[in-house]
Structure 1
Amino acid sequence: MVLKFYSVPYAAAGCGLVAMVLVEKQIPFELVVVDMSKGDHKTPEYIAKHPFGQVPMIDDDGFIVYESRAICRYLAEKYADQGTPLIPTSIPAKAMFEQAASIELATFFPLVLKIAMESVYKARRNLPIDEAVLAQAKTDLAAKLDVYEVILGTQKYLGGNEFTLADLFHLAYTPSLIKEGHNVMADRGPNVTRWWNDISSRPSWVKLQAEGIKSVM
């Protein structure tokens, strides 16, 4: 049975992360488009599989996994022997990977999400933007990226010298923010700039942005 990927058809947020892993790992899948504007994600049938009624979700021959980072880890480990290695196997390298993934989740992602919610999502709903909150979030993120600059001065990627999920996870909201005029990666140090240009120009990501998510069977 081909893996079923429940997602919106465009590569953004968590759906984009999972789609990129599917492409990087060369995993055949069937795209099941979830039309959230019609409430597809809140039907009893969908809630029975994903109790929070969100996307993305996968059905791997009856085995259900939701939450994008959990799905990415599952796919990277199940298909470890094909495509791009995304999780190291040695204990020291895996520890460095987990450290980097924790940094993204606890340090980078909350601030990017705050910027997105305070700017893009409020603007789309014609809600007043708290400019002070937005400015502070951007300042805080810049300070975190200053630390990234130091880390990336000694290694190519956030978890070491190989591209991993820890780098890939940074693509959840940041590209969308940049498209909306909030280039939080601009005017950073040379190491952060090099790293960001590297991960955001990977062929898998560029293809997904240009073509959207399509089934590969």
Structure 2
Amino acid sequence: MVLKLYGWPKSTCTQRVGLALIEKKVPFEFIMVDLFKGESKTPEYLAKQPFGQVPYIDDDGFILYESRAICRYIAEKYGNQGPNLLPTKDVKSRAMFEQAASIETSDFDMFASKAVFEMIFKPMMGGKSDEAVFQDLVTTLSNKLAVYDKILGKQKYLAGDDITLADLFHIPYGVLLSAAGTDVMQARPNVKRWFNDLTSRPSWNAVKDGVSSTA
């Protein structure tokens, strides 16, 4: 049975899972959940994803939600395909990955997602962007990325010299920061080199305009 990915084609979390599936060369069927029609809030959907969010996967009856958890599952299950995105060779390499993954969650996504929401998603929902809130978030994120620049001055990727899920997790919101009105991902040389490397990967080119089936 082909793995099924349920989501909204251009949602950041759906794209995150799409990236992992394509990197690991896993064929999948994409099933669109129309957020604007409330399809993520139906009883049938909530039975699979109780928070009413996207995405979730159905892997031959195994249901899993939360994009980062899904990506880890894919990387581990299909470890012999594509790049090794989830280091398992020794406890230290796995610890370095978990450190990088924690950095993405605590020092990047926490601020990048809110900045993007303020300028892009909030107006889409009928609200009004607050420029002061946005600038405050960007300032904090810029300070965080100054530390990234130091880390990436010593190694190619966040967990070492090999790409991992922790790097890929940054792409969807990192790209949207530019659309939100900030060049923060291009402002420092090592961050710029790293992020341009990530966004030039075929996996991002495959999902940047919307996730679609590969099977």
Taking structure 1 as the reference length, the TM-score comes to 0.94
Secondary structure at 2:120 match in 1: helix
AA matched with 2:212? K
Contact conserved, 1:120 with 1:177, CA < 8 A, in 2? no
Q: Where do residues 1-217 of structure 1 align in structure 2 (5 Å cutoff)?
A: 1-10=1-10, 12-89=11-88, 90-188=90-188, 190-210=189-209, 212-217=210-215
4+ residue segments displaced more than 6 Å: none
1:156-201: per-residue Cα shift (whole Å, max 9, x none)? 001110000000010131212313433321322x111110110111
Taking structure 2 as the reference length, the TM-score comes to 0.94
1:135-168: per-residue Cα shift (whole Å, max 9, x none)? 1111111100000011011100011100000000
Unaligned runs of 5+ in 2: none
Alignment CA distance shift 1:9-1:131 (3 Å): closer
AA matched with 2:198? I
Cα distance, 1:118 vs structure 2 = 1.7
Alpha-carbon distance between aligned partners in 2 of 1:137 and 1:9, rounded to the nearest angstrom: 26
Number of aligned pairs?
Answer: 214
Alignment CA distance shift 1:180-1:41 (3 Å): same
Alpha-carbon distance between aligned partners in 1 of 2:208 and 2:12, rounded to the nearest angstrom: 12
AA matched with 1:203? P
Alpha-carbon distance between aligned partners in 2 of 1:124 and 1:94, rounded to the nearest angstrom: 39
Alignment CA distance shift 1:38-1:123 (3 Å): closer
Cα distance, 1:126 vs structure 2 = 4.4
Alpha-carbon distance between aligned partners in 1 of 2:116 and 2:176, rounded to the nearest angstrom: 9
Alpha-carbon distance between aligned partners in 2 of 1:120 and 1:169, rounded to the nearest angstrom: 19
Alpha-carbon distance between aligned partners in 2 of 1:129 and 1:78, rounded to the nearest angstrom: 41
